[in-house]
Chains A and B, each alone.
Chain A
Amino acid sequence: MTELLLSPLRRLGHTTINAIWRLGFITRFLLAILRYSGQSLLRFNLTIREIYFAGVMSVIIVVVSGLFVGMVLGLQGYNTLSRFGSADALGALVALSLLRELGPVLAALLFSSRAGSAMTAEIGLMKATEQLDAMSVMAVNPIARVVAPRFWAGVISMPILAAMFNVMGIFGGYLIGVVMIGLDSGTFWSQMQNNVDLHYDVVNGLIKSLCFGIAVTLIAVFEGYDATPTAAGVSAATTRTVVTSALVILAVDFVLTAFMF
């Protein structure tokens, strides 16, 4: 009887302690990455290779999603704004929603599922096949050789992808608003330019995407490095990367928005 009552309690305690343990480990892991990134940035070719796999390969999905999100914003925005007789403000609506929120957040979500999961699987599999141990034996630091280049590649790629997402989204809004519905092109752009501020909207959006880049890539490389070295462990780690990234992106977004706007 007592066992029946105590076992959920014990599981709760175990989960909590495990979460705190992982939080401590991920902090130590970040410090280790920063410490060894000097070594790996000297061999910048490694990072460029990872930018290719993480960033360049994500361009297509980011660009296409951005276009569709912008087109949806154009249609929905026009429907709602025209009800209040202010369809002229469509350009401002599309640009502000993309620059402040949708661009950084959706690009980060796409990046975490397209590139983050791949990073986790790759590093997890390296661990499962004992490649990381082999490197250590050969006096090659696996954090400097494998983890840090991936981390920096993600941090560099994320703002670029978010900027592309924004531009494609604004283009999508333009396609719907001006080309399809027939709003005046001059009004569309001038409303946008009157209401978007360079520092307040554009720079804050880029800072947001940089923070998301750090969070998503750190989670991805950490889950890979921390994965149980079995086939099931790697698959569980990959799932955890996507789920945790999505939650962390939205939580960080809330905090940043509360500070910035």
Chain B
Amino acid sequence: MKRSTIDLWVGLFVALGIAAVVFMSLKVANLTPQSADQTYTLYADFDNIGGLKVKAPVKEAGVVVGRVGAIQLDTKTYRARVTLNLDKQYTFSRDASAEILTAGLLGEQYIGLLQGGDPDVLKAGEHITLTSSALVLEQLIGKFMTSFSGGNSAKSNASAAQ
């Protein structure tokens, strides 16, 4: 085979390879707002994060507005400090609240933000103060059991008083 024909085939081969990598980057992976200059950071402290993982989505009204950047334990307060990387186009008021929610019954956990009414907005590096922890199934069942037995005993007390 002549050299020019070989060059043509090799060129085509390399071009197809580059096309495959571009396809994987654009169509298969999410090239959405993840580079550092398109996001800003907020912090939120939780009593219990349950099964929240790094890179879990942060949603406002169900729309993904950012991702969890890091999860650390604050050694002073012993609460979990979650770093949120949020898209710069969304700002949140000072009294916005964050809670850890579960997608579906057994789905992944994510952070749900709820916009407040304060006209001042949170700047990069500030804390979301209103937080509520993840729902831990064991604690929920425990609470349900105690309230259930508590209700029973109250009822039996009442009937005994009668």
Q: Which residues of B contact A170 (CB under 8 A)?
A: 28
Report yes or no: B29 in contact with A202, Cβ–Cβ below 8 A: yes
Report which residue of B6, B10, B34 has the largest number of chain A beta carbons within 10 angstroms of its beta carbon: B10
Report yes or no: A95 in contact with B28, Cβ–Cβ below 8 A: yes
Give residues of chain A (178-216) contacting chain B, Cβ–Cβ below 8 Å.
189, 192-194, 196-198, 201-202, 206
- Interface presence of A231 (CB below 8 A): no
A45-53, A110-118, A222-230, A240-248 - interface stretch: A45-53
Q: Which residues of A contact B25 (CB under 8 A)?
A: 198, 202
The closest CB in chain A to the CB of B29 belongs to A198
Q: How large is the interface on A (under 10, 10 to 19, 20 to 34, 35 or more residues)?
A: 20 to 34
Interface residues of chain A: helix, strand, loop or mixed (majority): helix
Report yes or no: B24 in contact with A163, Cβ–Cβ below 8 A: yes
Kindly identify which residue among B7, B17, B24, B29 contacts A48, using a CB–CB cutoff of 8 Å: B7
The answer for the CA separation of A164 and B16 in the assembled complex, in Å, is: 8
The minimal Cβ–Cβ distance linking A20 to chain B, given in whole angstroms, is 38
Report yes or no: B13 in contact with A59, Cβ–Cβ below 8 A: yes
Kindly identify which residue among A51, A55, A159, A196 contacts B28, using a CB–CB cutoff of 8 Å: A196
Q: Which residues of A contact B27 (CB under 8 A)?
A: 189, 193
Q: Which residues of B contact A45 (CB under 8 A)?
A: 3
- Interface presence of A26 (CB below 8 A): no
Q: Which residues of B contact A75 (CB under 8 A)?
A: none
- Interface presence of B9 (CB below 8 A): yes
Give residues of chain A (40-65) contacting chain B, Cβ–Cβ below 8 Å.
45, 48-49, 51-52, 55-56, 59
- Interface presence of B78 (CB below 8 A): no
Kindly identify which residue among A49, A95, A163, A198 contacts B20, using a CB–CB cutoff of 8 Å: A163
The minimal Cβ–Cβ distance linking A24 to chain B, given in whole angstroms, is 35
- Interface presence of B21 (CB below 8 A): yes
Interface residues of chain B: helix, strand, loop or mixed (majority): helix
The minimal Cβ–Cβ distance linking B26 to chain A, given in whole angstroms, is 9
Kindly identify which residue among B1, B14, B28, B32 contacts A202, using a CB–CB cutoff of 8 Å: B28
Q: Mark A152-189, 1 if CB is under 8 A from B, else 0.
A: 00000101110110110010000000000000000001
Report yes or no: B13 in contact with A55, Cβ–Cβ below 8 A: yes
- Interface presence of A99 (CB below 8 A): yes
The answer for the CA separation of A201 and B31 in the assembled complex, in Å, is: 12
Report yes or no: B13 in contact with A166, Cβ–Cβ below 8 A: no
The answer for the CA separation of A51 and B32 in the assembled complex, in Å, is: 35
Report yes or no: B10 in contact with A160, Cβ–Cβ below 8 A: no
Report yes or no: B17 in contact with A159, Cβ–Cβ below 8 A: yes
The answer for the CA separation of A193 and B8 in the assembled complex, in Å, is: 34
Q: Which residues of A contact B16 (CB under 8 A)?
A: 59, 160, 164
Q: Which residues of A contact B3 (CB under 8 A)?
A: 45, 49
Known A-B contacts A163-B20, A163-B24, A164-B20; the reply to A55 vs B10 at CB < 8 A is yes
Report yes or no: B21 in contact with A193, Cβ–Cβ below 8 A: no
The minimal Cβ–Cβ distance linking B110 to chain A, given in whole angstroms, is 11
Closest 10 CB pairs of A and B: A160-B17, A163-B20, A198-B29, A167-B20, A196-B29, A52-B6, A193-B30, A56-B13, A56-B9, A51-B10
